[in-house]
Structure 1
Amino acid sequence: MSPGIIVLVSAVALGVVLSVLKSRFDGRFRGTRAVRAAGAAGEKEAVDDATAAAGRISAADLGTGLGERATMLQFSSAFCAPCRATRRTLVEVEAMVPGVKHIELDAESHLELVRRLDIMRTPTVLVLDATGAIVTRASGQPRKADVIAALGTAVDATSPAER
């Protein structure tokens, strides 16, 4: 075999592996560090007040109120095709689930919040509980079933006193 063939086969194999990894993780919700640590300890509340404050988003940060039970916060950009599809999905879920609010923010217009929340790409969807604590997040276009499951986690994460 010539070195050119070996390089070509290696490049194709690498491309296939990266494509499979991207499709596996793109748009999937994953928990935040604070939620994973609290879940591992068997608790439903934040690890500590400092960690909770760092992962909490207020109505002042968004310029509008939070949802009564949960909030789906979407970071988008102007020329992002998956952002439009994600918006449609989240609006449908908002109509289906009472007490849930969808808020879409332009990432370019909210750079301070984007940096604080470590948003690396659009669309990114954060699911917040009723208090504004980040329960889970997804980078890429999420499926409707995954959004509904993430909302269930957000509603369950709110303690009974806060409901």
Structure 2
Amino acid sequence: MIALVVLLVVIVATLGAGMLLRVRSGTFRAVDAGAAAPELDPVLAAVGVGVGVPVVLHFSASWCGPCAAVRRVVTQVLDTAPGSARDVELDLDENPLPARKLGVLSLPTTFVFDGAGRERFRASGVPTAEDLRTALASL
């Protein structure tokens, strides 16, 4: 009887955690950019961050299915607002250093940087086009 109760508690806790993670997946979280522009990291500058225009940087991999969905969302948003931001896609397997610098723990992960190279938003999972538009509009 006790084993059954423990099993039910574990199942309910697992379902709750899964639902919480699913709700947060793809949602942009604002990052405190600070008042002053920090010195731009050379690793990020080398991939095109901090060149005076906002940058949507997303990490992907050839083996990542949801990464293709992020690519479609970013393309859709930037095609409707040309010049609003640059699209930079980095393969995680080929670019581990920028991923490590930014603390990428899962794929897909998307960042929005302002023109000065400050990280302003971050999303793990597939963001919606509307969320990405809102993040870019706030810059």
Shorter-chain TM-score tier: 0.7 to 0.9
C-alpha spacing 1:137/1:55, structure 2 compared with 1 (3 Å): farther
C-alpha spacing 1:98/1:68, structure 2 compared with 1 (3 Å): farther
1:11-160 mapped onto 2 (5 Å cutoff): 11-32=10-31, 34-35=32-33, 46-49=34-37, 52-53=38-39, 57-58=44-45, 60=46, 62=47, 64=48, 69-99=53-83, 100-153=85-138, 155=139
Aligned partners of 2:134, 2:105: CA distance in 1, in Å? 23
Structure 1 residue runs without a partner (length 5+): 36-45, 156-163
In structure 2, the partner of 1:160 is none
Aligned residues: 137
Aligned partners of 2:80, 2:96: CA distance in 1, in Å? 31
Structure 2 residue runs without a partner (length 5+): none
In structure 1, the partner of 2:5 is 6
SS in 1 for 2:39: helix
Aligned partners of 1:55, 1:98: CA distance in 2, in Å? 26
Instruction: State the TM-score, normalizing by the size of structure 2.
Output: 0.87
SS in 2 for 1:109: coil
> What RMSD, in angstroms, separates the aligned Cα atoms of the two structures?
2.1
Cα distance, 1:55 vs. partner? 6.9
Aligned partners of 1:114, 1:23: CA distance in 2, in Å? 23
C-alpha spacing 1:22/1:85, structure 2 compared with 1 (3 Å): same
Contact 1:73 1:105 in 2 (8 A): yes
Identity across the alignment (%): 27
In structure 2, the partner of 1:159 is none
C-alpha spacing 1:68/1:96, structure 2 compared with 1 (3 Å): farther
More relative contact order, 1 or 2 (CA 8 Å, 6+ apart): 2
Higher helix share: 1
Aligned partners of 1:65, 1:115: CA distance in 2, in Å? 16
**Moved segments of 4+, more than 4 Å:** 64-68
C-alpha spacing 1:26/1:73, structure 2 compared with 1 (3 Å): same
